[in-house]
């Protein structure tokens, strides 16, 4: 295995870079043609890696890539999920190199998507290639690669419902998450769900001179700040009525188990360059991202944001807000509660509208499952230490949907690290993690 | 007078339009050459109108235009103040015609600067032309036209200090404000001061994935909303410590006088398309803009503001904030108090910086002064009704400075109307107000 990887690694990089060079930003219309180019490149790579069949399926959004190799229908089937779309690159001025011209620096690949998720899904393509070409493949393998994960997978659930037979499998295998550190490997056994909304506050129907009207007319930006500020109380609790109704409190025992994961608060603060952490009262940092829901403004804008001073009382103010949910919370119900809450607190002197974006539920998978056990054994061999079961703070809402639609558990073998700053400038992926991930995936097939 | 205006009005428009076509946006560096072009065009127009002398004075910022005509040193001197710079045009997509290609529609001139202040200062140039050319000028006249009013006049006060003799006069005459309505003319006898600041909240030193960190790391946008929201309490009072220390409460008698100004709350709300007004408890709408200070966010931004959803926990959040001050409040002292207050409430889990922009003090002028009385008589003749003394909510901080430096009171004969939406898209100036203003100014010289 190691010889094969060593002998082929330059080709691996060339192939991965050909994917990274395609700016497949799913949220921006201008990149629509890039989405198709990226899907096409993936089908080529999957066929070259050994797929019997690789096809692009159109959806109402960006296309889905499906590929498969059937070794023997009686063998068990692994369904690999990944996504080829990436986040926007703003603020572009903070990148040290072109986000769409990958560079290897200091032992890492730097590019948008280097980790999330092109780099991680590519390990699966190469693990599959190795097993196919060396005659060691003892599973049927299917790939389902979507182009809409970063915008909430609006098309894939419906597509999966229409192609249930095609997607039949025993396990969904995913590398789209992080591990605690290279020294402390971990496997995600749960992810948070997501509700994403946008608030628009409208005051006067035109921008006004803040001198002539200031003090007498409600300023939509000030009102938006009041609303946002009221959503979280002093103890870090979200004030949306009914928000915590379905949140199950973990037992002291379960919390103790999670607390075993190594965590250095000083390193964490140093990495982020912050003096203090902040979150819900009564919970640790790992609990705050792992087992508790939260609410964040992802973007806010209104009025004059250019250089210098403009004395305007703006007509509108906007905020994009996301709520991360724990597995028992239903994304649609939470979005409903949020909208209702906002309507109930909207003051009479402005108009407040809520727009719904995508959302999805969280999920939990059993540590006792054969797939988890196989992954744990593979990673123990590669990393020299047993991986810790962890709870991821992020959301891959589509996995909860696929679990429900297909009746298959997802297994999250994520090889990203915090340092990779996915979704931010200078996203990267350590070469050492790429190769360890690749080896772990190959061994997973051996032990599963 | 009327015949002269009628015979020359097409030329007046051509000349005014030549000024309006120059995009003299003082806050944007790219328009620096336009500032000089606009200053040059003004000197041409002032010479043509009858100035003995018209000159462009460089400053550390945009140039100052000074022009004068000395009829007889023993006569009293009128110093006309105006500004040739304009506000930016964003959001440009809301304009119905090119902001720098003036158009006459429905009895009004539409262009950036049509009113503020090119349109209003141009009435003074034409009044001066009429008096000069018809041999009726019985005052010495000086013009001081700056290019930095919209960015807080950073250079003019120092320039005025250096040119005190040049600026010697008996009254500063200004048209850069509004009147209550065409049916209810008014003269501003006081303006609010201004303190303008920008708050920057920095959390982690990079944008983070809101799923991985949300709930555990302070979000700078949420913190900024908390800070902004805390600046005004439920009763509409500003919470900055010491903010009201120098605010003098008006007597019941003075408040009653101000309350005589006609004001229709329903029309006001209808004009702005709002269901309710909002402001400081215990004060009327006119009091809230006239005799009370206020605080407004003029711009806010942070995180992802593009289309779609991005799950980012941003590194930074920003807000531009202005405070309108009453005459007894000192702008610099208030800015100091604001900064101190923000430092005192900044939480430990973020960094908070305050940047100071320009500011200026408010002022009051006596109704009993000869200049006010002459203006009142002139406007009574033109409008057929006596103008109401009013208090302007806006700020022309440089006037308070000039008053202090030169020891001369300013008189604010403003002919703008609310409908003109200055600082906003589709700024306009009614032709009827342009001509009534021009006539009023000519008569002012007659009665002063």
Q: How confident is the model at residue B403 (pLDDT cuts 50, 70, 90)?
A: confident
Backbone dihedral angles phi then psi of residue B27, each to the nearest 5 degrees: -85, -10
Residue A332 confidence (pLDDT) above 90: yes
Lowest-pLDDT range of A29-33, A247-251, A253-257: A253-257
Residue A309 confidence (pLDDT) above 90: no
Considering CB atoms only, which of B150, B211, B424 is closest to A206?
Answer: B424
Distance (Å, whole) CA A220 – CA B229: 12
| B157 touches B360 (CB < 8 A) | no
Q: How confident is the model at residue B309 (pLDDT cuts 50, 70, 90)?
A: confident
Which chain B residues are closer than 8 Å to A319 by Cβ? Answer: 221
Chain-chain contact of A218 with B274 (C-beta, under 8 angstroms): yes
Chain-chain contact of A221 with B209 (C-beta, under 8 angstroms): no
Considering CB atoms only, which of A204, A213, A225 is closest to B273?
Answer: A204
Chain-chain contact of A225 with B224 (C-beta, under 8 angstroms): yes
Rounded to an integer, the average pLDDT of B319-330 is 93
Average pLDDT, chain A: 94
Distance (Å, whole) CA B406 – CA B400: 10
Best mutation target among B92, B112, B211, B237 (most A Cβ atoms within 10 Å) is B211
Chain-chain contact of A274 with B222 (C-beta, under 8 angstroms): no
Distance (Å, whole) CA B181 – CA A210: 19
Please return the burial class of B130, using the count of CB atoms within 10 Å of its CB with bins 0-12, 13-18 and 19+: buried
Chain-chain contact of A221 with B297 (C-beta, under 8 angstroms): yes
Q: What is the pLDDT of residues A96-155, one digit of tens each?
A: 999 999 999 999 999 999 999 999 999 999 999 999 999 999 999 999 999 999 998 999
- Bridge partners, A359 (sequence order): A195
Considering A289-293, A347-351, B211-215, the range whose residues carry the highest mean pLDDT is A347-351
Question: Which region, left, alpha or beta, applies to residue B218 given φ > 0 means left and ψ of -120 to 50 means alpha?
Answer: beta
Average pLDDT, chain B: 94
- Please name each of the domains of chain B with its CATH number: 2-191+362-447 (3.40.630.10), 193-247+293-358 (3.30.70.360)
DSSP state of A348: T
Residue A257 confidence (pLDDT) above 80: no
Residue of A nearest to B265 (CA): A216
Distance (Å, whole) CA A178 – CA A330: 24
Residue of A nearest to B325 (CA): A211
Size of interface A-B (CB pairs under 8 A): 364
Chain-chain contact of B424 with A208 (C-beta, under 8 angstroms): yes
Which chain A residues are closer than 8 Å to B309 by Cβ? Answer: 27, 151-152, 196, 298, 320, 322, 357-358
> Strands B410-412, B171-174: parallel, antiparallel or unpaired by DSSP?
parallel
> Strands A208-209, A312-313: parallel, antiparallel or unpaired by DSSP?
antiparallel
Lowest-pLDDT range of A227-231, A314-318, B179-183: B179-183
Give the Cβ contact number of residue B10 at 10 Å.
9
CA dihedral B369, B371, B373, B377 (to 10 degrees): 180
Best mutation target among B214, B270, B394, B396 (most A Cβ atoms within 10 Å) is B214
Chain-chain contact of B306 with A224 (C-beta, under 8 angstroms): no
Residue of B nearest to A207 (CA): B424
Residue B78 confidence (pLDDT) above 90: yes
Burial B233-261 (b: 16+ CB within 10 A, else e): eeebbbebeebeeeeeebeeeebeebeee
Beta strands in B138-192 (DSSP E): 140-146, 171-174, 186-191
Residue B91, preceding peptide bond in cis (omega within 30° of 0):
yes
Chain-chain contact of B289 with A212 (C-beta, under 8 angstroms): yes
Distance (Å, whole) CA A62 – CA B358: 49
Chain-chain contact of B208 with A322 (C-beta, under 8 angstroms): no
Rounded to an integer, the average pLDDT of A17-37 is 97
Chain-chain contact of B152 with A194 (C-beta, under 8 angstroms): no
Considering CB atoms only, which of B88, B230, B299 is closest to A302?
Answer: B299
Distance (Å, whole) CA A375 – CA A359: 29
Chain-chain contact of A207 with B424 (C-beta, under 8 angstroms): yes
Residue A254 confidence (pLDDT) above 80: no
Q: How confident is the model at residue A86 (pLDDT cuts 50, 70, 90)?
A: very high
Residue B330 confidence (pLDDT) above 80: yes
Rounded to an integer, the average pLDDT of A52-79 is 97
Residue A247 confidence (pLDDT) above 80: yes
> Strands B351-360, B186-191: parallel, antiparallel or unpaired by DSSP?
unpaired
Q: What percent of chain A clears pLDDT 70, i.e. is strictly above it?
A: 100
Q: Please calculate the CA angle A54-A152-A320 and round it to the nearest 5 degrees.
A: 155
Which chain B residues are closer than 8 Å to A299 by Cβ? Answer: 221, 302-306, 310, 312, 314
Does the interface predicted TM-score (ipTM) exceed 0.85?
no
Which chain B residues are closer than 8 Å to A318 by Cβ? Answer: 305
Residue A117, preceding peptide bond in cis (omega within 30° of 0):
yes
- pLDDT attached to residue A143: 98
Cα A424 vs. chain centroid, distance in angstroms?
13
> Strands B77-83, B171-174: parallel, antiparallel or unpaired by DSSP?
parallel
Please return the burial class of B274, using the count of CB atoms within 10 Å of its CB with bins 0-12, 13-18 and 19+: buried
Please return the burial class of B407, using the count of CB atoms within 10 Å of its CB with bins 0-12, 13-18 and 19+: exposed
Element (H, E) at B21: none
| B288 touches A210 (CB < 8 A) | no
- pLDDT attached to residue B211: 86
Residue of A nearest to B203 (CA): A274
Q: What is the pLDDT of residues A354-381, one digit of tens each?
A: 999 978 888 877 788 899 999 999 999 9
- Asked whether the CA dihedral A96, A99, A105, A108 is positive or negative, the reply is positive
Backbone dihedral angles phi then psi of residue B189, each to the nearest 5 degrees: -110, 10
Question: Residues with Cβ < 8 Å from A162, sequence gap 6 or more?
Answer: none
Q: Is B213 helix (H, G, I), strand (E, B) or coil?
A: helix
Residue A91, preceding peptide bond in cis (omega within 30° of 0):
yes
Distance (Å, whole) CA B355 – CA B341: 14
**Number of helices and strands (H, E) in chain B?**
13, 18
Residue B49 confidence (pLDDT) above 90: yes
Which chain B residues are closer than 8 Å to A264 by Cβ? Answer: none
Residue B197, CA distances (Å) to B26, B142, B148, B355 in order: 18, 34, 18, 6
Chain-chain contact of B304 with A299 (C-beta, under 8 angstroms): yes
Chain-chain contact of B311 with A322 (C-beta, under 8 angstroms): yes
* CA–CA min distance A140, chain B (Å): 33
* CA–CA min distance B412, chain A (Å): 15
Residue of A nearest to B418 (CA): A212
Residue A190 confidence (pLDDT) above 90: no
Give the Cβ contact number of residue B427 at 10 Å.
26
């Amino acid at each position: 295995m190691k010889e094969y990887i060593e002998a082929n690694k330059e080709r691996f990089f060339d192939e991965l870079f050909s994917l990274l060079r395609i700016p497949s930003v799913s949220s921006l219309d201008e990149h629509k043609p890039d989405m198709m180019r990226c899907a096409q490149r993936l089908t080529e790579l999957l066929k070259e890696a050994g797929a019997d069949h690789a096809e692009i399926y159109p959806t109402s959004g960006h296309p889905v890539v499906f590929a498969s190799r059937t070794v023997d229908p009686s063998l068990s089937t692994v369904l690999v999920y990944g996504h080829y779309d990436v986040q926007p690159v703003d603020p572009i001025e903070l990148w040290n190199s072109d986000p769409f011209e990958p560079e290897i620096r200091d032992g890492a690949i730097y590019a948008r998507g280097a980790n999330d998720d092109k780099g991680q899904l590519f390990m699966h393509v190469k693990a599959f290639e190795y097993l196919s070409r060396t005659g060691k493949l003892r599973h049927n393998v299917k790939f389902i690669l979507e182009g809409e994960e970063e915008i909430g997978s609006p098309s894939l659930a419906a597509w999966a419902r229409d192609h249930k037979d095609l997607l039949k499998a025993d396990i969904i295998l995913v590398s789209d998450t992080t591990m605690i550190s290279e020294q402390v490997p971990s496997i995600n056994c749960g992810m948070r769900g997501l509700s994403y909304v946008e608030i628009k506050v409208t005051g006067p129907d035109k921008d006004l001179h803040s001198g002539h009207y200031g003090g007498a007319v409600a300023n939509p930006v000030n009102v938006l700040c009041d609303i946002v500020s009221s959503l979280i109380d002093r103890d870090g609790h979200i004030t949306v009525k009914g928000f915590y109704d379905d949140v199950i409190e973990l037992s002291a025992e379960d919390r103790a188990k999670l607390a075993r994961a190594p965590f250095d608060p000083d390193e964490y603060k140093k990495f982020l360059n912050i003096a203090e952490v902040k979150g819900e009262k009564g919970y640790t940092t790992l609990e705050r991202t792992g087992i508790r829901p939260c609410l964040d403004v992802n973007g806010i804008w209104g009025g004059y944001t250019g250089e210098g001073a403009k004395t305007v009382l703006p007509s509108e103010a906007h905020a994009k807000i996301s709520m991360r949910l724990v597995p028992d919370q239903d994304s649609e119900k939470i979005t409903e509660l949020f909208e209702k809450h906002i309507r109930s607190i909207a003051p009479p002197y402005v108009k407040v509208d809520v727009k719904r974006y995508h959302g999805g539920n969280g999920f939990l998978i059993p540590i006792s499952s054969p797939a988890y056990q196989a992954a744990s054994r593979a990673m123990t061999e590669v990393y020299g230490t047993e991986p810790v079961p962890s709870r991821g703070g992020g959301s891959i809402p589509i996995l909860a949907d696929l679990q429900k639609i297909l009746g298959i558990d997802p297994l999250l073998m994520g090889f990203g690290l915090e340092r990779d700053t996915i979704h931010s400038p200078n996203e990267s992926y350590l070469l050492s993690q790429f190769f360890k991930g690749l080896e772990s995936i190959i061994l997973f097939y051996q032990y599963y």
